[in-house]
Structure 1
Amino acid sequence: MKCRSLCQLVVGSFILSVGSVTSSNANAQLTIGRQIIEPVTPIIDSVPVDVGTVRDVLEAQVEQGVESTFGSLANIPTPQFTVPSPLSLTSPAGSLVLKEIKAPDGFLAVEREWLFVGSEADRTHFSHPDITIESSHYLTAIGQWIYRLKVSTSLDELSQIRNNLPESLKAQVGRNHIYLAQSKGNPDSQNNSQHVLANTTPTDKPKVCQAPVRIGMIDTSIAQNHELLKHLVIEQQSFLPQALPTTQAHGTSVAGLLADNMLAGSHLYNASVFYTRNSISQGATLLSLIDGLNYLVAKQVDAINMSLAGPENPVLSKVIQKISEQGVQILAAVGNEGPASPPMFPAAYPSTIAVTAVDSKHVIYRWANQGNYVDFAASGVSVEVAHPDGTTSRETGTSMATPLVSARYACLFRASSNPAQALATLRDQAIDAGAPGRDPVFGVGILH
């Protein structure tokens, strides 16, 4: 007994020393298990098992012993997480529109820009010579104002910004971070011929839906006239400064994948937020994301697809929590930064459904993030997608897996009008993969 106690003490100390690898994810997962369906708590008693309950399996796994913990640590690959180099984007006339920096937290952000959510009266807290309110507007989705602040170099630090706020508001400010689209093209793939599209008709869709749905997406703009989208009613709005370059490729791909599981007459609402960073990367500021979410909630969507990932941010957390409390489900890609990446957001937030990618043989996508916040897996490796030029191409990434789960959830929600029931049915449809039960690679399982 003494040896066993001593071993547990040593192991406990060791686990604490590598908290950034395992413990933080475990703690986050245990929190998720109790919060994902909190807005619909009365339903839990009538639903035997739901996604949140399945997540609690992690507690039993932790209690099984320390041997499995050592085995997991030994198998952790070399960290793959990297942040792209910051860029400066200019208008056609040559004036600076947006300057990215690598913030102290290691993620990209807009230089010296911060966001704050609060009341209109809270603007008085920013009467400071080193703080300028660049813009402010009311967000109907959360019933609060959002302020975009520009600060001096000497004040460009979280602790300094919070010093100007009362204690009750300190958690409502964060950097204007930049979030990245989560797909990677297949260089060896070629566009498919037009006859593939000719054989695709709205009667082939949907495989699940029995009624029209309303789905929102946060992405690039989309090519609305694509053949694969013609059975949908599409509305989109841009939340980008006009001078920033943009593309239709990523958004059209995601929209096509959503459309494949949407009944004719369904509504698709797109908030265009991504600017083109380079030929393979698209970025979106947190302010654009929040404005896009505000727009989609006003459209009374059943679900919101977010094929993007980035850092934790208290402002984003607050907005997503408020949206979740209204019964609008957000689904997000877990990220393409590799198995050893830290948790990426919004996927890792408790109320968000996090989606990873597998190939046609149910093998996990090699660059997919892993962690106890992963909820479902879906096909996302070399999948056929709509291309803005009217043809199709192939894309890979957790971005490409998320739309199937978003559309499936929206269909189930529309059928039951009950978020908890929709989640429980979604879990029942998942095929277990990897380790028996829930695991940090496939989550609950794979959806087809």
Structure 2
Amino acid sequence: MTLQKFTLVSLLAFSHLTSAQIINTKGIVKQIDSLERSVERIESQVSQKVTDRPFALSTLPPIDELLTEPLTLLPKTLAIGENLGKPLFVEVETEDGWRAIQNQWVVLANPQTKQHLIALGAFINSETNYSGLGLSLLRFTVPESLDSKQALAKHLPEQTLESLDRNHIYQAQTAAPQAQSSVTGQNLENSASKALCDTPVKIGMIDSGIDQQHGAFADAIIIAKSFLVDDLSSPQAHGTAVASVLVGDLGPLTPLLSHGKVYSAEVFYRQSDYSQGATLDAMITALNWLVEEQIKVVNMSLAGPPNKMLATIIKAASQQGTIIVAAAGNQGPAAPELYPAGYPEVIAVSAFDKQQQPYRWSNRGDYVDYSALGVNVVTAQVKRGLGKESGTSMAAPVVSAALSCLLTESGHRNSVDRQAILTSLSDLAVDLGPKGRDPIYGIGGIVRNLGESN
């Protein structure tokens, strides 16, 4: 029964009950006709199968433009470990805006310094002799009242203060997660398919863990060692990406070092789903191991604050003939220099894209030595094939690989003529941007296929 017939029957029945009332059924029928047509039109629209998307996802603005705070932003106090009620350690934001382990410091060890610290009420966490670096270090925790350089300076000799600093936290230098992509198929073209050298080389990296089960590493030689406290597990995404730039081989992903042997020192722990940190003391122990293994080129795709102890160990490693390459940082063109890239002994690397235009988030400054491709770089992704990543973290291993090749091909496998090697590297560099050295590209760009840079 249609809506019109049902209504008419109802009206007739109602008229018998209210015979004294006169009803104008003609006007009502017209209204019913109009209402029925509206109902049919709505029913047709609802029942119609929708085949088009309500909107195209490609028209949405990038998520990083919608966020009011970066995904990598961390709370001022962060407990680290599986049991947050009893964490392995607590990292905090310090008075200068950097991050460090709460109330924990490092200093060169000697008996007098140790006694001074104990007398002040400090707890000695460790006293370690690093034979590769030729240094002994104290790591200690102070009461809250002494947790500043100014407070400690009132009680410690001036000589002790020369190496005293916090146990700072350093972070990986890839783009924020929302700027990365995981893609397959035609989108993974990689024009830079030529290895930098085909000779057997050894190279070190201080980074996160590596997913060695990934198909990209089927033929790679990777020796990994963890330097995290109490078996704290290391995330694998960043280290996997960096290692794949060096020795990954799968489809469009081709290795910089076709016969490379990677010594991977794991120092990064998970801070959040979007960030990872490495303590200074873990980095020191990792660098000492690589020096002991006689690894002459070490890639450090990480950055953070200036630190007196970090400067000390970098200088010590350099004196042992180790060349350290570090990411210049992803804080942007106006940001101050980051470390270890900022130290004179370290080779600092900025990033550019395939058109050799500077990466928009790459740090700039007089401390930048070289540059390399670091935007939309094809990399291995943990447990999910290949993808693309951006950041100075991806540019640094290009320069590290080039130095390893030059070092090996020159015959200086056990000793390093640093100046001669760097001169050879500068000869390979393509002058980009302003003529000569500049704060964007440094001396120049290191590219895989020189013909493509012209």
TM range, smaller chain: 0.7 to 0.9
**Which moved further from structure 2: 302-311 or 129-138?**
129-138
Aligned counterpart for 1:111 among listed residues 82, 102, 127:
102
Aligned counterpart for 2:76 among listed residues 82, 86, 89:
86
Q: Cα–Cα, structure 1 residues 177 and 334, in superposed 2: closer, same or farther, change >3 Å?
A: same
Q: 1:370-389 to 2 correspondence within 5 Å? A: 370-389=364-383
Q: Cα–Cα, structure 1 residues 230 and 420, in superposed 2: closer, same or farther, change >3 Å?
A: farther
> 2:127 aligns to what?
136
Q: What is the CA–CA distance in structure 2 between the aligned matches of 1:140 and 1:206, rounded to whole Å?
A: 38
Equivalent position amino acid for 2:125 in 1: E
Equivalent position amino acid for 1:189 in 2: S
Contact 1:118 1:172 in 2 (8 A): no
Equivalent position amino acid for 1:141 in 2: G
Q: What is the CA–CA distance in structure 2 between the aligned matches of 1:281 and 1:247, rounded to whole Å?
A: 10
| Structure with more relative contact order (C-alpha pairs < 8 Å, separation 6 or more) | 1
> 1:262 aligns to what?
257
Aligned counterpart for 2:211 among listed residues 218, 223, 229:
223
Q: Secondary structure at the match of 1:425?
A: helix
Aligned counterpart for 1:190 among listed residues 182, 196, 221:
182
Equivalent position amino acid for 2:258 in 1: L
Aligned counterpart for 2:271 among listed residues 277, 290, 293:
277
Deviations 1:34-78 (A, max 9, x none): xxxxxxxxxxxxxxxxxxxxxxxxxxxxxxxxxxxxxxxxxxxxx
Contact 1:378 1:401 in 2 (8 A): yes
Q: What is the CA–CA distance in structure 2 between the aligned matches of 1:415 and 1:373, rounded to whole Å?
A: 27
TM-score by length of 1: 0.76
> 2:299 aligns to what?
305
Cα distance, 1:95 vs structure 2: 1.4
Deviations 1:234-255 (A, max 9, x none): 1111111246453100000000
Question: Is 1:329 the counterpart of 2:330 in the alignment?
Answer: no
Q: Cα–Cα, structure 1 residues 230 and 419, in superposed 2: closer, same or farther, change >3 Å?
A: farther
Q: Percent identity?
A: 38
Contact 1:339 1:368 in 2 (8 A): yes
Deviations 1:201-248 (A, max 9, x none): xxx986222421111101001012323223332111111124645310
Q: Cα–Cα, structure 1 residues 151 and 188, in superposed 2: closer, same or farther, change >3 Å?
A: closer
> 2:46 aligns to what?
none
Q: Secondary structure at the match of 1:412?
A: helix
Question: Is 1:241 the counterpart of 2:229 in the alignment?
Answer: yes
Question: Is 1:414 the counterpart of 2:411 in the alignment?
Answer: no
Contact 2:180 2:390 in 1 (8 A): no
Q: What is the CA–CA distance in structure 1 between the aligned matches of 2:358 and 2:305, rounded to whole Å?
A: 23
Contact 1:335 1:344 in 2 (8 A): yes
> 2:116 aligns to what?
125
Question: Is 1:435 the counterpart of 2:434 in the alignment?
Answer: yes
**Which moved further from structure 2: 240-249 or 360-369?**
240-249
Q: Secondary structure at the match of 1:134?
A: strand
Equivalent position amino acid for 1:367 in 2: W
Q: Cα–Cα, structure 1 residues 84 and 357, in superposed 2: closer, same or farther, change >3 Å?
A: farther
Equivalent position amino acid for 1:227 in 2: G
Q: What is the CA–CA distance in structure 2 between the aligned matches of 1:385 and 1:163, rounded to whole Å?
A: 50
Question: Is 1:343 the counterpart of 2:337 in the alignment?
Answer: yes
Q: What is the CA–CA distance in structure 1 between the aligned matches of 2:187 and 2:343, rounded to whole Å?
A: 42
Q: Cα–Cα, structure 1 residues 285 and 194, in superposed 2: closer, same or farther, change >3 Å?
A: farther
Q: Secondary structure at the match of 2:165?
A: strand
Q: What is the CA–CA distance in structure 2 between the aligned matches of 1:279 and 1:95, rounded to whole Å?
A: 21
Q: What is the CA–CA distance in structure 2 between the aligned matches of 1:357 and 1:274, rounded to whole Å?
A: 22
Gaps of 5+ in 1: 1-79
**Which moved further from structure 2: 179-188 or 267-276?**
179-188
Q: 1:150-165 to 2 correspondence within 5 Å? A: 150-165=141-156
Q: What is the CA–CA distance in structure 1 between the aligned matches of 2:139 and 2:386, rounded to whole Å?
A: 39
Higher-Rg member (1/2) = 2
Equivalent position amino acid for 1:86 in 2: K
Gaps of 5+ in 2: 1-69, 248-254, 448-454
